[in-house]
Amino acid sequence: MDSQASNQSRNPELAKALRVIVGSDAVVTDEEALRPFECDGLTAYRELPLMVVLPSTIEEVQRVMRTCAQQSVPVVTRGAGTGLSGGALPLSDGVLLSLTRMNQILDINDSTHTARVQPGVRNLAISEAVQHLGLYYAPDPSSQIACSIGGNVAENSGGVHCLKYGLTVHNILQLKVVTVDGELITVGSEALDAPGYDLLALMTGSEGMLGIVVEVLVKLLPIPPVAQVVMAAFDEVERAGDAVAAIIGGGILPAGLEMMDNYAITAAEDFVHAGYPVDAAAILLCELDGTQDEVDSQIAKVEKILTEYGATDTQVATDEQTRQRFWSGRKAAFPAVGRISPDYYCIDGTIPRRELGTVLTAISSLSEEFGLRVANVFHAGDGNLHPLILYDANKEGELEKTEELGNRILELCVEVGGTVTGEHGVGVEKLRPMCLQFEDPVIEQFHAVKAAWDPHSLLNPGKAVPTLARCAEFGAMHVHQGNLPFSNLERF
């Protein structure tokens, strides 16, 4: 029996019913054709879905959901597949609903500075479409060239400029959402506020567990007249961390404030030739925007603070080409690190800015304890850490050791008053540290919200919120004894 027939034999009635709704070419069941969908950007876990369905309209999404609900088939919604926590990991007995064909910008309103888009529209495509109007969409994840706006809503994505301009939740006004039983609802408003519970905020960052986002009304901002970047080099990582807190504490709100350590600096410089000082222990990239007078004044203040906190060198990008070059290394940091290690594991946690120096020192100690290199790339201005643990999955036991180090880093984030995620979501990756961060009554309330929207747990089940039984398995100190959250999943 061929692979397509084998897959369909598990639920031939469902495959037939869904082909009637979306067309034969929009239901994928062949095993090899399913391979590209078996994981998202977190490749440590893989699973083939029962089938992939690619709707093109809201009405098709509604009919697909009604059919799946009637047959009690779980559904995992997928955007561009760039997520880094396993949030779009499929289920072997479930439908993977891919929204990549819903990729149109439906309307651009210059007078209200808004755009109405489908969920499959790429993040960067929004700014490209409105640039001629002097506008742009502010949230800019490093994957913005590929990631989709629907996925950004699901994970409440941020990016380099979220320090000043906010996360996804601060840059959207309204969502159209298909519920688990196929109803279409609208949450939020075209105005700045709406009566009732703030369901827009609830849906943003819900990781596909409450509903399926099928349309997004985003805010557009005027492109700042001037934007300049200060790059500062430090001979100690801790001094760079302390300088970040000093800049914010000095009443300056940069458009972006990013930090990279030497592993990340040298990898990025070798990859894109951004002009980074490869002998520096760390660099800060601080972007100021506004009018020329505002930017000049802020740059002078920032340079003074950087010098006071031990910067060995500062450079100012006085033209757009240099500014883009400075940012190119930061934007390419993840793929650049991938060139110096067979594998890497990206951590996403957030801490109070005042703890940057302390946490960086602790990460260095943990790196030595586990014998694994860690390249640090931070949205330093808002305390969002992205330590990249370098490892080799072909070495027996090294992935498990890497996961344990990652959990220790996230536990450290909680200990200093932070949180286990900043923008990548929880997915399957962070169920253990979620048990450390939240007490049982809070987790119970999370499940109560889930049950109100999805009483039979058909939407992305098993993700984002651990069960109390799962937390009990972690032990009194919330340690999972080295076991995987999903032991049936194939390892990469």
pLDDT in tens, 254-284: 999 999 999 999 999 999 999 999 999 999 9
Q: Is 65 found in the same domain as 171? A: no
Residue 5, CA atoms < 13 Å, CB-side half-sphere: 2
Q: Is 273 found in the same domain as 311? A: yes
CATH number of 17's domain: 3.30.43.10
Of 43-57, 83-97, 145-159, 478-492, the range with the lowest mean pLDDT is: 478-492
* pLDDT score of 250 more than 80: yes
In the listed set 182, 198, 222, which residue is the last one of a domain according to the structure? 222
In the listed set 206, 222, 238, which residue is the last one of a domain according to the structure? 222
Q: Is 264 found in the same domain as 400? A: no
Q: Is 481 found in the same domain as 358? A: yes
Q: Is 76 found in the same domain as 15? A: yes
Average of pLDDT values for 29-56?
A: 94
* Prediction pTM value: 0.91
Report percent pLDDT > 70 for the chain. 94
pLDDT in tens, 118-159: 999 999 999 999 999 999 999 999 899 999 999 999 999 999
CATH number of 414's domain: 3.30.70.2740
* pLDDT score of 3 more than 60: no
pLDDT given at position 475: 57
Report percent pLDDT > 90 for the chain. 87
pLDDT in tens, 186-213: 999 999 888 999 999 999 999 999 999 9
In the listed set 336, 358, 377, which residue is the last one of a domain according to the structure? 336
Q: Is 35 found in the same domain as 116? A: no
Q: Is 260 found in the same domain as 161? A: no
CATH number of 332's domain: 3.30.70.2190
Instruction: Give the total number of structural domains in the chain.
Output: 4
* pLDDT score of 2 more than 80: no
* HEC per residue, the chain: CCHHHHHHHHCHHHHHHHHHHHCHHHEECCHHHHHHHCCCCCCCEECCCCEEECCCCHHHHHHHHHHHHHCCCCEEEECCCCCCCCCCCCCCCCEEEECCCCCCEEEEECCCCEEEECCCCEHHHHHHHHHHHCEECCCCCCCCCCCEHHHHHHHCCCCCCHHHHCCHHHCEEEEEEECCCCCEEEEECCCCCCCCCCHHHHHCCCCCCCCEEEEEEEECEECCCEEEEEEEEECCHHHHHHHHHHHHHCCCCCCEEEEEEHHHHHHHHHHHCCCCCCCCCEEEEEEEEECHHHHHHHHHHHHHHHHHCCCCEEEECCCHHHHHHHHHHHHCHHHHHHCCCCEEEECCEECCHHHHHHHHHHHHHHHHHHCCCEEEEEEHHHCEEEEEEEECCCCCCHHHHHHHHHHHHHHHHHHCCCECCCCCCCCCCCHHHHHHHCCHHHHHHHHHHHHHHCCCCCECCCCCCCCHHHHHHCCCCCCCCCCCCCCCCEEC
Q: Is 209 found in the same domain as 194? A: yes
Q: Is 326 found in the same domain as 442? A: no
* pLDDT score of 6 more than 60: no
pLDDT in tens, 302-354: 999 999 999 999 999 989 999 999 999 999 999 999 999 999 999 999 999 88
Q: Is 158 found in the same domain as 211? A: yes
Tell me which residue range forms the domain holding 415. 341-491
* pLDDT score of 468 more than 50: yes
Q: Is 486 found in the same domain as 348? A: yes
pLDDT in tens, 207-231: 999 999 999 999 999 999 999 999 9
Average pLDDT over all residues of the chain: 92
Q: Is 59 found in the same domain as 11? A: yes
